[in-house]
Amino acid sequence: MPESESCQRGSEEAVPLYDRLIPREEGHPMSDQFEIVDTGDARGRGLRSKVPFRKGERVARLSGVLTNHTTIDTIQIIPTLHLHDPWFCRFLLHGCNPNLAIDVTVMEAMATRDIRPGDYLTIDYRATEDVIEFQFPCHCGAENCCRWMRGRLEEPNEAGRAFLER
């Protein structure tokens, strides 16, 4: 498209990241706030902020479909109830020193420290999950890195034990 046409149209309208089947709520994540990108490393695709957030600020209101089992797309609410959210939570990367915390009592992601545009959004999976879908090596790079990601009630599996012995 010619540059003049682009300028005439203005910037594109922000769209919800949640599927149209999820009823809209104030605070839901929007495309002008976040982008899903390939990290270019072992972490795969992640969610990157396009705007700043201050420590303690709500980053997003969470929604999804309730299920009674864990998957790669879920956040544990209670031991027998999980929020299936393949649109936003699915792309929150693990970090041992995360910039987000999930408050399941109000279904919100809160900034645990200031977040700058371009920062990947991270949570500590151990803070939300008793058991995770699959264990994996942690690549977060934090000083306090756990090195092997697992749920808070799990012991490292065989691959994890071998990885941690190195």
Report mean pLDDT in 10-residue bins for the chain, 166 residues: 38 84 94 95 93 98 95 94 96 96 97 98 96 92 94 96 95
Residue 10 in tokens? 């203005």
Quote the CA–CA distance of 37 and 77 in Å, as a whole number.
26
pTM: 0.88
pLDDT at 7: 38
Residue 46 in tokens? 């992640």
pLDDT at 10: 41
pLDDT at 12: 64
DSSP string, 95-162: -SS-SEEEETTTTEEEESS-B-TTPBPEE-HHHH-SS-SS-EE-----TT--SEE--TTPPP-HHHHH
What angle is formed at CA 107 by the lines to CA 103 and CA 109, rounded to 5 degrees?
A: 60
Query: What residue ranges define each of the domains in the chain, with the CATH number in brackets?
Result: 14-133 (2.170.270.10)
- Between the alpha carbon of residue 96 and those of residues 13, 48, 63, 148, the distances in Å are 35, 17, 24, 10
Measured over the CA atoms of residue 134, residue 135, residue 136 and residue 141, the dihedral's sign is positive
